[in-house]
Structure 1
């Protein structure tokens, strides 16, 4: 088992690079990076995002006023399987290699990843590995020290900081380059993505249950994609700012109640940054009852997923007691079997230190 600061890709994590600092956000009105570098806006992306969100609002109205019952009932499952392409595929399988998958499962996850349209697995995993190694520095593609909006989606509206490009070239991607399916998707992504992400969710409802083109396009294509984007983006933004740090109080990532509530996975983000090789991205039991984890476990039951990596409960306990902020419900001040005066805590702030 790797140490708490290194996964099997050899990528070091933020506990080895830095400690928390710099305040909760930066003044984005200055359009500057944390080192003072001026941002270069990408206006094409900005315009496309504006169009997407206006169209998605219209799609939300159509979902409740004009869609068929079939579209209405299948919309949430469509968002869920879209998110799986990122959480189970690009994130837990390819970026962190928390488990292994046979060819049929890889094909399913590559399809869902393309369905999610957040770039090819190769590039998504590269940026995510850089994010873990250089979290909250200018080399972090979605550096939360540059403000909530930048970490959420602003990083896609401007050119990458030179440090992101430089460090990205140094990340070991040999495992991805040795996977012919990943490289096939990378090579043909711009051909596959429009068909899988936009064409199929538009025409399938029209032909299978008689949905209108207007509803299919705005609801099943655009609104589905937009909502899935924001679920993933919340991990980069709010899950690095607003929550508790029961496993390591010295890093920015937090456990975000909002994402935990929806059970799509990745809500226990403080845990994930401490133990990035865990396929569950959370502890055992009730802490790992999310859609992504259950999907991986079901695939393991079928024999399609194997070598699932996890962290022993004893190691989690030791880490929570050693570096946690005291908010762990069992090994912190919330333990019902332990008096508050025994742990020396009455009230505690969980916000980032300035």
Structure 2
């Protein structure tokens, strides 16, 4: 759920973020019914940058036949690292506290999260908590009731609705601020993004196996980044609109197998919004859920602990009470 990269160098974090976002909210209305605000201020810089990124990604496709196979494998490996920085890191660890991670794992996930370039851990996690608490209202940063385009990418093209900011201030984020890894990444976010999102993916193929800098940059940085953004956005858009609702038919999020494939386990979205504390975000555990595989492996290595799970009786009772009757 990326947004623009802002200057993260000021402390305290809460007050700095609140002041910045208050100015970004502009003069938007604050109707809380989930409809579109009366007035939208377009952030033209984001429109231009995202357009250029996707044009560059489209151009990158013509370079695929010209690149070395190792470069394509490296680009996919960087995609997986990028995804883990969001799914296992900002989402399941920091947003939901669904498991605990020791310092080396938190450092790794923070570096991978910078490779993702989807806002720093603090802002990503805070906005995601708002998304869960006020889902499909004006306080939801990517409210799916405003349509597929808005929930996918359009929310980045307009200033945040004032309700997002006001409701965000009411959430307890002291756990995020207490983590030195989160504070460090936020303070040095711009530097970490330049290094992890662009320099490392570009320089490794050039240095290790002689790939051209041109191919490395467009394939391992630009194309990989654009694909990872859209995969994440599909969780906000497609997984809130298309699929079944076996756990709670009264909420918008759905079970979407295609999103699950792309987002390495994040498409079991009706389950996730019903049991947001579950570290696996799915009833089915290891059933194509690479993020769950990763967290389980980290537990086996002693780097993660205290995985939270919804119990089978709890799941079955909820299905019977609020599910749509689908499998």
**TM-aligned CA distance change 1:137 to 1:263, over 3 Å:** closer
TM-score, structure 1 as length reference: 0.81
* 1:296 to 2:308 alignment: no
Q: Please give the per-residue CA displacement for 1:15-43, whole angstroms capped at 9, x wherever unaligned.
A: xxxxxxxxxxxxxxxxxx81542110000
Unaligned runs of 5+ in 2: 1-33
SS in 1 for 2:188: helix
**Would you identify which runs of 4 or more consecutive aligned residues in structure 1 move more than 3 Å?**
none
Q: Please give the per-residue CA displacement for 1:238-257, whole angstroms capped at 9, x wherever unaligned.
A: 10001100000000000012
Superposed counterparts of 1:124-203, under 5 Å: 124-203=124-203
CA contact (8 A) 2:261 2:288 kept: no
Aligned to 2:46: 45
Q: How many residues align?
A: 294
Q: Please give the per-residue CA displacement for 1:275-318, whole angstroms capped at 9, x wherever unaligned.
A: 000000001345x4311000000000001000000011111011
Normalized per residue, the structure richer in helix is 2
Q: Please give the per-residue CA displacement for 1:93-135, whole angstroms capped at 9, x wherever unaligned.
A: 0000000000000011001000110010000000000000000
RMSD (Å) for aligned C-alpha atoms: 1.2
CA contact (8 A) 1:279 1:310 kept: yes
Unaligned runs of 5+ in 1: 1-32, 329-354
Tell me how far apart the structure 1 counterparts of residues 138 and 132 of structure 2 sit (CA, whole Å). 12
CA contact (8 A) 2:79 2:228 kept: yes
CA contact (8 A) 1:265 1:293 kept: yes
Aligned to 1:87: 87
Superposed counterparts of 1:330-345, under 5 Å: none
Aligned to 1:30: none
Which has the larger Rg? 1
Tell me how far apart the structure 2 counterparts of residues 238 and 284 of structure 1 sit (CA, whole Å). 21
Q: Please give the per-residue CA displacement for 1:198-223, whole angstroms capped at 9, x wherever unaligned.
A: 11111111001111111111100011
Tell me how far apart the structure 1 counterparts of residues 209 and 37 of structure 2 sit (CA, whole Å). 54
SS in 2 for 1:273: helix
Aligned to 2:246: 246
